[in-house]
Amino acid sequence: MTERSGGPVPSHRLDVRGYRCPVPVGEARKALRALEVGACLEVRFDDPEALEDLPPMVARLGQRVLGVEEGHGDWRVFIEVVA
């Protein structure tokens, strides 16, 4: 995995803007389970509740949050698949 000047470079992207929890977290869980070790998933969402729910779910799955970026009304969470 490489990093760009602003953070990790994702190998996969999931855009769940416009959806409310639990959809963003559930879709991220499905996407992570389909990825191989070393992959980096960018999850983009606009529901603030997902910002609270996503990191604990990532930890429960044994994966690692590499970073969180806030944009104009939305967020991007970068997750590395480590297990």
pTM: 0.90
Average pLDDT across the chain, whole number: 93
Tens-place pLDDT, residues 21-71: 999 999 999 999 999 999 999 999 999 999 999 999 999 999 999 999 999
Backbone φ and ψ of 41, nearest 5°: -105, 125
The encoded tokens of residue 22 equal: 């639990």
CATH architecture of structural domain 3-80: 2-Layer Sandwich (3.30)
Backbone φ and ψ of 44, nearest 5°: -110, 130
pLDDT on residue 5: 53
CA distance 28 to 58: 9
pLDDT on residue 7: 74
